[in-house]
Amino acid sequence: MFFIILLILSFILLIVCLFKFKYLFNKLPIGGFFLIPSFNLYLYLSYNHIFISFILLTLLLFLLGALDDIYNLKVITRFSIVFVLIFCFLFLNSHLIKISSFSNNNLFFLIFFTVLIMGFIHTMNMIDGIDGLYISYIIITFLLIANLEIESIYFLLCLIFILILNLKKKIIIGNSGNLYISSVIPIIFIFNADSQIEILSYSLKMNKELLTILFIIPLIDGLRVTTQRILNSTSPFKKDLSHIQFLNQNDKLSLFSILLAQLLINILYLMLNNFMIIVIISIFLYFALLLILKKNNQS
């Protein structure tokens, strides 16, 4: 009943904002709100034994992201609150962490996992900027890790619907969506470490290597941009247009090129299942794409 009410409210808000209050898009991106019912339904069906913890985490991160979208919170304020929320969540559910070297309530590992998740959130926030890129990455990831199970189908359909509106510049995810979606993805990997995923006739382990490969292009780009900012004595969190998706004025070309490169990397990893070889290939592919987009933009 809770999900039906929340789903109806999200559709009403979506329709009202699309047709009556377009000015709201300049203040509060509603893509994150629209996805809350389907996302939490997926979490309920997949992790019903800790669903209360999950829904509290997603709602609090959504509210924090919404405040950031409206008031542009200071980075240190946002990061501090996110750190506390994720650390508390991992601490309360540490018995579910499926990593052999981890012992329950090991403070070092809990802090380490929290920092990794925050790094992932920051990386995903970096690729938000051209329509369709962020949502496409989330769709590709859930197609793989959820393996088209019934629990994920509704969420995937909602993502596709949001993607269509996003490409038509009708709606964006914003920090209100990025914070909770990008935090839960690595948590799912931590809770399912080393479990097997069957893709066609191939078998993959759900581990840190797979998570890295799925987001290797934005990870390499994030490292490049962060290093460049530090060398230029600027804040690594300062927003600019130095990311790969902004190097070409043709957004569609950038979107297609980045997603094509990422899909190629995913397929190669699926076939070869060799982490180091794929990382090396990804680095060469990334810098080749970087040069192509720069050159195409100058011509």
pLDDT digits (tens, 9 = 90+) for 46-100: 888 888 888 889 989 988 988 888 888 888 899 999 999 999 999 888 888 877 6
Cα separation values, 176 from 29, 33, 61, 149, 206, Å: 7, 7, 7, 26, 27
Share of the chain above pLDDT 90, in %: 19
Residue type, 258: I
Gap between the Cα atoms of 40 and 46, Å rounded: 10
State pLDDT tens for residues 181-192: 999 999 988 888
Whether the pLDDT of residue 112 is over 70: the answer is yes
Instruction: Evaluate if residue 11 carries a pLDDT over 60.
Output: no
Six-digit token pair at 224?
């490049």
> Residue 229 and residue 242: Cα distance in Å, rounded?
9
Mean residue pLDDT of the chain comes to 81
CA distance 46 to 149: 10
Do residues 97 and 193 make contact, with C-beta atoms less than 8 angstroms apart? yes
pTM of the prediction? 0.84
Question: Where is pLDDT greater, at 237 or 275?
Answer: 275
Predicted local distance difference test score (pLDDT) of residue 23: 47
Query: What tokens were used for 212?
Result: 């890295």
Q: Which two tokens stand for residue 73?
A: 């919170």
**CA dist., res. 280 & res. 268, Å (int):** 12
Confidence of residue 106 (pLDDT cuts 50, 70, 90): confident
Strand partners, 205: 196
Residue 19: is its pLDDT beyond 60? no
Sign of CA dihedral 64, 76, 225, 277: negative
For residue 207, the model assigns a pLDDT of 81
Residue 1, pLDDT score: 53
Is 16's pLDDT higher than 80?
A: no
Mean pLDDT for the stretch of residues 195-211: 77
For the chain, the distance separating the N- and C-terminal CA atoms, rounded to the nearest angstrom, is 57
Total Cβ atoms within 10 A of residue 163: 20
CA–CA distance, 132 with 223 (Å, rounded to integer): 22
Least confident span in 113-122, 194-203, 257-266:
194-203
Q: Is 233 left (phi over 0), alpha (psi -120 to 50) or beta?
A: left
Q: What is the reported pLDDT for 278? A: 94
Strand partners, 203: 198
What is d(CA 144, CA 242) in angstroms, rounded to the nearest whole number?
Answer: 30
d(CA 61, CA 36): 11
Helix or strand run (H / E) with residue 117 = helix 107-126
Q: Which of 258, 41, 239 is nearest to 136 (CA)?
A: 258
Q: Closest Cα to residue 119, out of 30, 208, 245, 197?
A: 208
The amino acid present at 69, given as its one-letter code, is D
Residue 21's pLDDT band (boundaries 50, 70, 90)?
Answer: very low
- Most confident region among 24-38, 115-129, 216-230 by mean pLDDT: 216-230
User: Could you give the CA distance from residue 36 to residue 41 in angstroms, rounded to a whole number?
Assistant: 8
pLDDT for 27 equals 43
Sign of the CA dihedral with 51 first, then 52, 56, and 57 last: negative
Q: Are 228 and 274 in contact (CB under 8 A)?
A: no
| Tens of pLDDT, residues 256-297 | 899 999 999 998 998 888 999 999 999 999 999 999 888 876
Q: Is a pLDDT exceeding 70 seen at residue 25?
A: no
Handedness of CA 192, 109, 113, 286 (dihedral sign): negative
pLDDT tier, 15 (very low <50, low <70, confident <90, very high otherwise):
low
